Amino acid sequence: MSQESVALEGKIWSKQAWIGVIGLGYVGLPLVKLFLTKGFRVIGFDIDPKKVNSLNKGQSYIRHISTQELREFLKKKAFRASGDFAGLRKMDVIIICVPTPLDAHKNPDLSYVLGTTRVIAKHLRKGQLVILESTTYPGTTDEEMLPILSQRGLRPGRDFFLAFSPEREDPGNRSYSTGTIPKVVGGLTPDCRRLVKLLYDQIMLRTVPVSSTRVAEAVKLLENIFRSVNIALVNELKIIFERMGIDIWEVIQAASSKPFGFMPFYPGPGYGGHCIPVDPYYLTYKAKEVDYPTKFIELAGEINTRMPFYVVNKTIEALNRRGKSICHSRVLVLGLAYKRDIDDTRESPALKIMSVFLDKGARVAYNDPFVARCAGHREYPGLDLRSVPLTALRLRKSDAVIIATDHSAYDYNWIARHAPLVVDTRNAIKRKRKNVIKA
């Protein structure tokens, strides 16, 4: 063990280590909160001055981080937000929680990770632990980040320490929170692994050390590819069974009675969130280096990304049967978040559904109790709408109401009573009605 690792270990044990979290979004901010509740001091770094100013005023912009909690931490001077990255030099631990999106051709966009790494390299000093939490392909930490961080002559595993620990955030999950989800950790060297495990041992119920950063990177991809493939399977079965006159929801319910060998997945209008629609393509990209085509993974992606078009086509067919054209029809989308009872709209299929309807000339509105405004999405720059009040009159005047997200706040029987046509993509309305179609 190097002198630097021993010193950092002591700071972590005593909770005297300063924690710097870069990226204050749905991953970074809950992590900040967890470190603070466990007695660490934290500075959150972000390039967005609106986020920085909001947090320093004690105003949270993420639903499950309360303003009251935030103000208590600010009052104790245990936390502040900053846009001055020169402050990274004072941190003992630096955790990267920045986006890893896809470009227009579904290739990995590591610009946020590598740009952040270059900023860290400018301020890197001996005795610091750098951890990447952003999902990426195997080799990012040791092949892409390490050369940048080592360019000033600091030795990895002796002067500074490098690790990967995939985020496993699940917004809206009432059973598991940031601190109760087991934490996978992989280090560049044995000392790196020991330190990253020690750090997360202070805040997590359980850590799961693996042999390398590459294994840790692969773990997150496996988790999300598993979900992507199974969601695609059940979405395809939904379409097939519909043509056979079979209710996929009844099939899943009955199959779930088997106590072994089956895990239920549920169909929908597509998939959303930052992880599942994006992560599989990171492995697809990296697999090209070992000359292996990822046909299975790519096919799942194709099926899932087609589902919003399936919903639109089902709506158009239903309107045609009622003698209406989609052009100039009033379409009301219920639920903009990518899943129930959260405010996260990243990669939400509802965005694609609204965009396609608008392209076809429909007059589109949406309601979501958690999302007041829909704007600023990189893939949908033309979308700029505000959530409209959900009233009986609005339902009656809508030509089609699309249940895109099954928020528990909605009274679905009331919606079905007042809307002339409901396209239910989530099986939210269990009772069969003439004006309700499943999609």
Residues 365-401 pLDDT 10s: 999 999 999 998 888 888 999 999 999 999 999 999 9
Instruction: Indicate which residue of 97, 192, 275, 374 is catalytic.
Output: 275
Distance CA 332, CA 272 (A): 20
The verdict on pTM exceeding 0.85 is: yes
Give 163's strand partners. 131, 187
Average pLDDT over residues 36-48: 97
For the stretch 314-372, pLDDT in tens is 999 999 999 999 999 999 999 999 999 999 999 999 999 999 999 999 999 999 999 99
Residue 377 is predicted with a pLDDT of 86
Residue 403 is predicted with a pLDDT of 98
Angle between helices 295-321 and 349-359 (to 10 degrees): 50
Largest CA distance in the chain: 78
Q: How confident is the model at residue 65 (pLDDT cuts 50, 70, 90)?
A: confident
Computed over every residue of the chain, the mean pLDDT equals 95
Strands, E assignment, 32-103: 41-45, 79-82, 93-96
Average pLDDT over residues 177-200: 96
Q: Distance of CA 384 to CAs 73, 272, 358, 401, Å?
A: 35, 19, 12, 19
**Residue ranges of the chain assigned to CATH 3.40.50.720:** 3-211, 248-438
Token pair, residue 113, equals 């990770």
For the stretch 398-429, pLDDT in tens is 999 999 999 999 999 999 999 999 999 999 99
Residue 420 is predicted with a pLDDT of 97
Distance CA 221, CA 279 (A): 6
For the stretch 273-323, pLDDT in tens is 878 889 899 999 999 999 999 999 999 999 999 999 999 999 999 999 999
Class in CATH terms, 3-211: alpha beta
Residue 160 is predicted with a pLDDT of 98
Distance CA 15, CA 38 (A): 9
What is the percent of the chain with per-residue pLDDT over 90, rounded to a whole number?
A: 88
The CATH code for residues 248-438 is: 3.40.50.720
Asked about 374 being catalytic, the answer comes back as no
Angle between helices 213-243 and 295-321 (to 10 degrees): 30
Query: What does DSSP assign to residue 108?
Result: B
For the stretch 96-129, pLDDT in tens is 999 999 888 888 999 999 999 999 999 999 999 9
